[in-house]
A = this chain, B = another copy of it.
Amino acid sequence: MELRLAVAGIGNNIAALIQGKYFYQAFEKTRREGEALPGIKREIIGGVRPYDFNVCACFDVHPGKIGTDVSQAIFCPPNCYPDLRVNVPHQGVSVVEGLTLAGGELQGMEQVIRELRRTRPDVLLYSLPTGLQWAADGYSLCCLEAGVSFVNCTPEIVARNPERMAAFQRKKLALLGDDLASHIGASVVHSALLELILKRGLDLVRSYQINIGGNSDFENLFVNGKSKAASKKNAIAHLTGKALDQVEIIPSGGFVSQLKDEKVAMISIEGRGWAGTPFTIDLKLKVQDSSNAAGVIIDLIRFAAASMRDGIDPYAEADSLLKSPPKVAQFAHTQSHSGPNSNGSKPSVCTAPTGQ
């Protein structure tokens, strides 16, 4: 089955997503019996494989991207995701100018709605730089108008806005967000170690986590990282089940341009065991930042599409892929009036792949 995808923000995440499609298509050709797709947890969701999506609409405001085919736009600076040397064919989809803010006024809604109606995507992926609440609001309203589900990759408040959520549910559209949990990021690694220490009865004395990178996210976060630090502390509290005052987090310890889209996280843990004797853990994690996002996005867009087709709860499995999901209780409540399958026996959207 094919998933039609619209994208707002043609940044590194999209460079990773589209190159990944062709990477996996090529992989299939030499795939051995029983071999798993590398980096893929759920091979099929709602009948859709990781490479069964087509980008049908693209929005951005960068002059170098507007009007070019998306297969070229993904390599336009400041994008810095590596060229994976897979053959990305001409997509036949040009980047269209997206929403802008001029004099406090949102502009371009009509054009975006028209483009969505023309191209009829199943899902719009919202992946603009962090901090543009007006854009997240604008694109989600366009989707409501055009009948398109919405996945929010950013910490902007969309799915946590109860009115917005209710509006999407009334139209039987999925609204998934907010913010992504990385596929393998500093928060989950840090939490796994802290959880282990608490579980085994050792004392946590102090711990810190510092992240650096060379994409524009890290440039933004270096000056404006307080809310991100709070969000990351919440993520750890959520994962370990305990607010840990001893933990300090620096979301961006520096913009190191040479790292490009690579991210480096350094984690330090100091504790005490028997008789107060000390132990320390020092860890360095290196990861391709936007691969970390794309590995989660591929599931979210498939959950969103499956939810629209089959009426099931998209949060049932997607919850662990999100940093700030809306309260499930609230969702369940409204959902119970709107979906044909919301009777408690939720149908599974994941099909066990033959090859795993």
Contacts and interface: CB of A to CB of B under 8 A. Distances in A.
Contact of A212 (B196, B197, B210): B210
Interface of A: 16, 19-20, 23-24, 27, 36, 38-42, 82, 84, 86, 183-184, 188-189, 192-193, 195-197, 200-203, 206, 208, 210, 212, 246, 248, 250, 253-254, 256-259, 264, 266, 268, 271-288, 291-292, 294-295, 298
Nearest to A265: B281
A192 to B, nearest CB: 5
B276 A23 contact: yes
A200 B183 contact: yes
Nearest to A276: B38
A291 B273 CA distance: 7
Main secondary structure on A side of the interface with B? mixed
Contacts of A193: 189, 192-193
Contacts of A196: 184, 188-189, 192
Contacts of A276: 23, 27, 38-39, 84
A186 to B, nearest CB: 11
Contacts of A257: 248
Nearest to A287: B279
